[in-house]
Each structure stands twice: as C-alpha cells, then as structure tokens.
Structure 1
C-alpha cells in the first residue's frame, strides 16, 4: 500500500488477510503480466513498491532468479507481515515497511522498479516517478500499471452497494496523469523508450456474494465497510441483479477489466 489521504493505509491493512485471497483471478494475473512485460532478467535487483500480497513480487523473484534480489515495500503493516511470511522460503526476497511515494534507498540501487496498480493512490505521482528514476541504475527500467477501463457494469454495481452504505464517499477519481496513454507519456518525458500497452483480465465470480467479498478485500473496502452488517446481504443481491447480464452458461458472473502497463527506461 502507499501514502494517500488519511485512512487509505488503514483500509488496506484491514483488507490484507483477504486481499487477492477470495478465489477470483484479478491481481495475480495482472501482476504476472506486468513482470513479463517489464523484462526482468536473471541477476536483476528489483524494487516492488506497494507490494501488497505479492502479485508482482513473487513472479519478479522468479524472473530475477537465484542471482537476483527483490525487495517489496508496503505501508500497511498487515500486508508487510503476511507477505513476508508467505515469501519466507524465498531467500532472494525481502519485504519491509516503506512508502511508495518516496522509497528510502540509495540512488542507483536497482535495475528494475515495479509498481502494480499503486501509483494512482499517491499524493504526488509525478514526484514519485522522479524519485524512482534516481533509484535506478543507468539503463534501468520502471514498469507500472494503472486502470484503463472497468467493465461497464462495474460502476453500476458499485452504485448498488453505495445505496446501502451510510455516508458513502464519492467514487474516487484516478484520472490525472493516468487518464490516457497521452497523459502518461506526457508525464514521462524524462524517460527513454516509453512503451504503453494494455492487458485485459477476465474475472469470474460465483455470484453477488463473492463479488461483494472481492470488493471488500481490496480498496473497495472504503465503501463496503460503511454498509451495516444487516444490509450486506441485500447489497450483494442488488449488485448481483445489476451484473445479471454478465452471467455465463456455468452460472458465474464475468467482468472484464483493462489495465495499462507502462515500461520506461532510465
């Protein structure tokens, strides 16, 4: 997790035990694809900022191999503790508390820096990008992802949840430099060989309750935690009604999310 408005780190700290652990393919395949496009080589030293439960961290370690070194940082204490425990048998990997806005390492420490679906939470993404550039060795690479498009029914289903919440917050605007490929490129003029590509992830849910549990397991918890316990089942049912048209022949709900993956050279 990363620095942001007060309370966001706490949201992810609460969500950590279930984060990417509710039986839905979402962060893990996205993280693996980010690593694949980052071009991590055997022996690379890698920093994964906002590492969460390791969706990028673990495949990055596999790509860097036994001669490499991978450090994951996160601000949420539970994320750090649980992920450190999960990778305890990987001798080239370490996990520690750290802020993705301003990682505290010497200049030129890393060959690759990764950030999977993290930077749009930061108070000053442009400053973070500049900080990452200083941490990279000459010829090093930055690889990060951000959302490009949600499934059209996703925001409608979130509205169905919000109708059951007490003092629901407005939807978060993750625009700014992440609004389009053009705005991303404009923010990366100091970098070399900038590549912006897209990746589509199809996620399946057994029904409205699993979809609710999935939302509750990540940043969406900012909304779900405001839904009283006695209204949660009704909220999940209303969301399922919104998502009914996505139902597949096997009965699951199917949503497609598109992310942008940016790889840029130092």
Structure 2
C-alpha cells in the first residue's frame, strides 16, 4: 500500500490535468448514478483531485456536505486548495480501506476507481456499510474492459521497465464481472445492488501525450521503472502499436447499492 501512495503522491500534480477525458467524465457519471440530493452528507473515499468530489458537492448543495479523504498527502493538499472557496467541502487525509468516522455518519459514500487498489476491498465495503445511515447509498466504479490498443501499449511499456511489477492489490476475483461485484457488495450487507456499464473515449495528441498521461496516474507503477535512456525506445514501441491520433475507449462498471 505504501508503494501505491508514493506513486500517487508523485503523480498528483499532473493527475487529471493533461487534457484527457477520463477521470472527470467517469466521476461525473458516478455522481449522477449515486443520486445525491440537496442536503446529503457524502463521503468520497480516495478522492484524488476531485473527479467525484466536486460534482458531488454541487449535487449536495449548500445544505449538504462532502468530505473527501485520500492517503496521498499531495492529492489532499492540491484538492483542498481547489476546494478552498467551497464551504460544503472538507478534504483531509484518510484511509479508504478503513475510514475513521462514527457509524451512520453519511447518506452517500462514493468510491470512484478506488476499491481495486485496496488490500481488502471486502472489508472496506463492510466499513462503508457501517458508516451509512439507514437508507444510505454506496456508489462505486471499477474497471470492466480496456481498449485492445491500451492493453498492447501497456505491454510495450512494461517490456522496457526494470524489475517486476508491484503485486496486484485487492481480491481480483471480486472484480471479474458485474455478477461477482454484486455478490461481494451483498456479502458486505448491502441490498439492491445495480451495476451498469459506462464507456468513455479518451483522445491523445500523440504517443508522447499518451506516455505522459500513463505517467500521471496509477500507470506510473510501470513508467517510473523505465530508465530515462530507454524512454525513446519505449515511445518507438508505442508508435508501433498505437494509431495516431489516438482514441481509446474504456468501460467501467458503475455500481449503486443501498443499506
């Protein structure tokens, strides 16, 4: 987990700031699916740079409140600064695995592209269940499928990286498909889990733009292991597998469950 935090601290300044439609549209879609109402108290776990946090705050309105937590302190610093003019937003360090709040504190909990990074996502879901008030809702997103070009591009980059990749986090079987997601959420005490797919097309100017974007989020686990002297060769391999201009489609599962 500490290695992931380091990666996101390093990536924070560029995270969702490189002109690529990805985190922001997925965050907006998750917020809409969550059905946040004016006056709701919302917890956004793993808030990053606010892709879910800010639209959630707009939906909750001045009578509501959104608390964003993240273990990457640079993410917290930057997002807190961006939220400085919003009295209904609090951003603070906090662990998405085990948020430290009293039981029944929130009407809605959002977890945008977070669960699969956690060491025990099932236990995290159970913790979220305790933090929700009766009738509360959990809204989460997780990867469903990646563009074939993206998969080939990541293989090309990994071929230039030193050392083995970090071990995968979480319990992979939970994220196999919509049915396994529903089952895991149900085991944590939620009911009425609805999982639907949402697809976003992301466009990149060229392979250098794509590389910079991969380097600006969790993909940095690969790019940071590519020595500088091998970067041009890695970019050349990207050119062999990615058509230019580059447009890649990514599909995420959006899930909403009730207490």
Task: Quickly name the TM-score band, shorter chain normalised.
Answer: over 0.9
Q: Distance in 2 between matches of 1:113 and 1:231?
A: 42
Match of 2:254 in 1: 261
Is the 2:45–2:95 contact (alpha carbons within 8 Å) kept by the matching residues of 1? yes
Q: Distance in 2 between matches of 1:183 and 1:15?
A: 31
SS of the counterpart of 2:148?
Answer: coil
| 1:139 paired to 2:135 | yes
The unaligned stretches of length 5 or more in structure 2 are none
SS of the counterpart of 1:188?
Answer: helix
Match of 1:206 in 2: 205
How far residue 134 of structure 1 moved from its aligned partner, in angstroms, is: 0.4
Cα distance, 1:111–1:94 mapped onto 2, change above 3 Å: same
Match of 1:176 in 2: 173
What is the CA deviation profile of residues 221-264 of structure 1, one whole-angstrom value per residue up to 9, with x for unaligned ones? 011011111221321231132012xx4xxxx2010000000000
Q: Distance in 2 between matches of 1:24 and 1:168?
A: 28
The unaligned stretches of length 5 or more in structure 1 are none
TM-score, normalization by structure 2: 0.96
Q: Distance in 1 between matches of 2:56 and 2:101?
A: 19
Moved segments of 4+, more than 6 Å: none
CA RMSD, aligned part only? 1.3
Match of 1:241 in 2: 240
Is the 1:209–1:233 contact (alpha carbons within 8 Å) kept by the matching residues of 2? no
How many residue pairs get aligned? The number is: 256
Is the 2:73–2:93 contact (alpha carbons within 8 Å) kept by the matching residues of 1? yes
Task: Name whichever of 166-175 and 140-149 sits farther off.
Answer: 166-175
Match of 2:4 in 1: 8
Q: Distance in 2 between matches of 1:171 and 1:216?
A: 18
Cα distance, 1:71–1:173 mapped onto 2, change above 3 Å: closer
Cα distance, 1:173–1:47 mapped onto 2, change above 3 Å: closer
Is the 2:139–2:256 contact (alpha carbons within 8 Å) kept by the matching residues of 1? yes
Q: Any residues of structure 2 matched to 1:97-246 within 5 Å, and which?
A: 97-169=93-165, 172=168, 175-189=172-186, 190-244=189-243
Match of 1:52 in 2: 48
